[in-house]
Amino acid sequence: MLFLPGAGASAAFWRPVADRLDLDRRRRFFAWPGLGNEPHDENVRGLDDLVSMVLSEIDGPADLIAQSMGGLVAVRVALAAPGKVRRLVLTAASGGVPMSDLGAADWRAEYQREFPAAALWITEVHEDLSSRLASISAPCLLLCGDADAISPPSVGRRLRELLPEARLHIVQGGDHDLAQTHAAQVATLIREHLR
């Protein structure tokens, strides 16, 4: 199981959920260099480098559990190496669909205020992978919060339409950090999906 954080970038983001998963599998928690409060790495200059970082850690079919921007990384990994991705969990994630078309709030200014030392490239990422999502055959669990303005349920519904093996669950009272605030519920849903 590979746990991918959002632009907050901390490897600790997924711990509340992972600690509740009673699945006996090797786990890898990623942090994104230069994003959030993580130290910069001159070798990480954009999303392609994050995708390469994840691909280099996959030695066999893996389950990718991703939050927000980490969901875009997970989708890019699934497109680049479909045989290496067994299952996907995309939580509060764009997954590569245009967000502004779906009523999503722009997170960039708030992010820059919260993380002023973060690499600027993250606020310039605009990818539309909509036309390519149908080629992802890995079963995908989509988790959205009904109170999430950054990645509202409309985003999850669009992803469910585009991903051939997707199931959507909307978490009542869940915001963009629902994997932390609703960790027990999220862990139960992930456990069922991975089994």
Domain boundaries, the chain: 2-194
Mean of the per-residue pLDDT values of the chain: 95
Q: Is the pLDDT of residue 23 over 80?
A: no
Beta strand spans in the chain (E): 2-4, 28-29, 62-67, 85-91, 140-145, 166-171
Is 24's pLDDT higher than 90?
no
- pLDDT, residue 168, reads 98
Quote the pLDDT of residue 157: 97
Per-residue pLDDT, 195: 85
DSSP notation for 8-20: T--TTTTHHHHTT
Instruction: Give the domain 2-194 fold.
Output: Rossmann fold (3.40.50)
Predicted pLDDT at 132: 97
Spell out the residues 6+ positions from residue 125 whose beta carbon is closer than 8 angstroms to its own: 46, 47, 69, 72
Section 147-168 average pLDDT: 97
Q: What is the pLDDT of residue 60?
A: 86
Alpha helices in 93-142 (DSSP H): 108-114
The predicted model gives 27-33 an average pLDDT of: 96
Report percent pLDDT > 70 for the chain: 100
Phi and psi for 12 in degrees, rounded to 5?
-80, -10
Please give the Cα distance from 164 to 129 (Å, whole number): 14
Average pLDDT over residues 116-134: 95
Share of the chain above pLDDT 90, in %: 94
User: For residue 71, what are its two tokens?
Assistant: 């969901």
Residue with tokens 């001159």: 42
Least confidently predicted of 123-127, 130-134, 141-145: 123-127
Q: What's the mean pLDDT in 98-119?
A: 94
